[in-house]
Chain A
Amino acid sequence: MTLHARLQVARDSGFRLDIEVDIAPGEVVALLGPNGAGKTTALRALAGLLPLTGGVVRVDDHVWDEPPRVFLPAERRAVGVVFQDYLLFAHLSALDNVAFGPRARGTDRGTARARAREWLDRVGLAAHAGARPRSLSGGQAQRVALARALVTDPEVLLLDEPLAALDAGTRLHVRSELGRHLDAYRGRTLLVTHDPLDAMVLADRLVIVEDGRVVQQGPPDQVARRPRTEYVANLVGLNLLRGRADGTTVVLDDGGQLVIAEPADGPVHVAFAPSAVGLYPEPPAGSPRNTWPVTVVGVEQHAHTVRVRLDGAPPVLADVTTAVVAELRLVPGARLWAALKATETRAYPF
Chain B
Amino acid sequence: MTRARRHTRGRLPAVLVAPAVLGLAFLVVPLAGLLVQAPWSDLPGQLLSAEVGQALRLSLVCATLATLLCLLLGVPLAWLLARGDLPGRGLLRALVTVPLVLPPVVGGVALLLVLGRRGLIGQHLDAWFGISLPFTTAGVVVAEAFVAMPFLVISVEGALRGADPRYEEAAATLGASRWLTFRRVTLPSILPGLVAGTVLCWARALGEFGATITFAGNFPDRTTTMPLAVYLALETDPDAAIVLSIVLLIVSVVVLASLRDRWIGGAT
Nearest to B184 among chain A residues (CB) is A100
Q: Are B174 and A87 touching (Cβ within 8 A)?
A: no
Interface residues of B in 149-174 (CB under 8 A from A): 164, 166-167, 169-174
Q: Are A81 and B173 touching (Cβ within 8 A)?
A: yes
A280 at the interface (CB under 8 A from B): no
Q: How far is the CA of A89 from the CA of B170 in the complex (A)?
A: 9
B256 at the interface (CB under 8 A from A): no
Contacts of A91 in B (CB 8 A): 188-189, 191
Cβ-neighbour of B167 out of A80, A81, A89 (below 8 A): A89
Residue-by-residue, is A52-96 near B (CB-CB < 8 Å gives 1, otherwise 0)? 000000000000000000000111110111010001011110000
Distance (whole angstroms) from the CB of A348 to the closest CB of chain B:
40
Q: Are A104 and B174 touching (Cβ within 8 A)?
A: yes
Q: How far is the CA of A90 from the CA of B185 in the complex (A)?
A: 9
Contacts of B35 in A (CB 8 A): none
Contacts of B175 in A (CB 8 A): 75-76, 101, 104-105, 152
Beyond A73-B172, A74-B172, whether A87 also contacts B166 by CB under 8 A is yes
Contacts of B166 in A (CB 8 A): 83, 87
Contacts of A188 in B (CB 8 A): none
Q: Are A89 and B173 touching (Cβ within 8 A)?
A: no
Beyond A87-B167, A100-B184, whether A75 also contacts B172 by CB under 8 A is yes
Cβ-neighbour of A74 out of B167, B169, B184 (below 8 A): B169
A331 at the interface (CB under 8 A from B): no
Most buried by A among B174, B177, B184: B174
Most buried by A among B177, B180, B185, B189: B185
B246 at the interface (CB under 8 A from A): no
Q: Are A79 and B167 touching (Cβ within 8 A)?
A: no
Distance (whole angstroms) from the CB of B173 to the closest CB of chain A:
4
Q: Are B171 and A104 touching (Cβ within 8 A)?
A: yes
Contacts of A77 in B (CB 8 A): 173
Contacts of A87 in B (CB 8 A): 164, 166-167, 169-170
A113 at the interface (CB under 8 A from B): no
Cβ-neighbour of B174 out of A49, A73, A100 (below 8 A): A100
Contacts of B189 in A (CB 8 A): 89-91
Q: How far is the CA of A74 from the CA of B170 in the complex (A)?
A: 9
Contacts of B110 in A (CB 8 A): none
A293 at the interface (CB under 8 A from B): no
Contacts of B195 in A (CB 8 A): none
Q: How far is the CA of A89 from the CA of B188 in the complex (A)?
A: 9
Contacts of B164 in A (CB 8 A): 87
Most buried by A among B164, B169, B175, B177: B175
Beyond A83-B166, A90-B189, A91-B189, whether A48 also contacts B173 by CB under 8 A is yes
Contacts of A89 in B (CB 8 A): 167, 170-171, 184-185, 188-189
Nearest to B166 among chain A residues (CB) is A87
Contacts of B167 in A (CB 8 A): 87, 89
A205 at the interface (CB under 8 A from B): no
B176 at the interface (CB under 8 A from A): yes
Q: How far is the CA of A338 from the CA of B122 in the complex (A)?
A: 93
Distance (whole angstroms) from the CB of B160 to the closest CB of chain A:
15
Q: Are A81 and B170 touching (Cβ within 8 A)?
A: yes
Interface residues of A in 83-126 (CB under 8 A from B): 83, 87, 89-92, 100-101, 104-105
Cβ-neighbour of A49 out of B169, B180, B184 (below 8 A): B169
Contacts of B170 in A (CB 8 A): 81, 83, 87, 89
Q: Are A104 and B176 touching (Cβ within 8 A)?
A: yes
Distance (whole angstroms) from the CB of A51 to the closest CB of chain B:
13
Q: How far is the CA of A345 from the CA of B158 in the complex (A)?
A: 61
Nearest to B188 among chain A residues (CB) is A91
Beyond A87-B167, A90-B189, whether A75 also contacts B184 by CB under 8 A is no
A148 at the interface (CB under 8 A from B): yes
Cβ-neighbour of B172 out of A49, A92, A105, A149 (below 8 A): A49
Nearest to A105 among chain B residues (CB) is B175
Distance (whole angstroms) from the CB of A317 to the closest CB of chain B:
39
Nearest to A106 among chain B residues (CB) is B175
Q: Are B173 and A80 touching (Cβ within 8 A)?
A: yes
Q: How far is the CA of A104 from the CA of B175 in the complex (A)?
A: 6
Contacts of A73 in B (CB 8 A): 172
Contacts of A191 in B (CB 8 A): none
Beyond A89-B185, A91-B189, whether A75 also contacts B176 by CB under 8 A is yes
Q: Are A152 and B174 touching (Cβ within 8 A)?
A: yes
A47 at the interface (CB under 8 A from B): yes
Q: How far is the CA of A79 from the CA of B175 in the complex (A)?
A: 9
Q: Are A104 and B188 touching (Cβ within 8 A)?
A: no
Contacts of A83 in B (CB 8 A): 166, 170
Distance (whole angstroms) from the CB of A180 to the closest CB of chain B:
23
Q: How far is the CA of A148 from the CA of B185 in the complex (A)?
A: 15
Q: Are B173 and A100 touching (Cβ within 8 A)?
A: no
Q: Are B174 and A148 touching (Cβ within 8 A)?
A: yes
Distance (whole angstroms) from the CB of A73 to the closest CB of chain B:
7
Q: Are A49 and B188 touching (Cβ within 8 A)?
A: no
Q: Identify the 3 closest CB pairs spanning chains A and B, nearest first.
A: A104-B176, A74-B172, A101-B174
10 contacts between A and B (CB under 8 A): A47-B169, A74-B172, A81-B173, A89-B171, A89-B185, A89-B189, A90-B189, A105-B175, A149-B173, A152-B175
By a beta-carbon cutoff of 8 Å, the part of chain A in contact with chain B is 47-49, 73-77, 79-81, 83, 87, 89-92, 100-101, 104-105, 148-149, 152
Besides the known contacts A75-B175, A77-B173, A104-B171, 17 further A-B residue pairs in the complex with CB atoms under 8 A apart: A48-B172, A73-B172, A74-B169, A74-B172, A75-B173, A76-B175, A81-B170, A81-B173, A87-B167, A89-B171, A91-B191, A100-B171, A100-B174, A104-B174, A104-B176, A105-B174, A149-B173
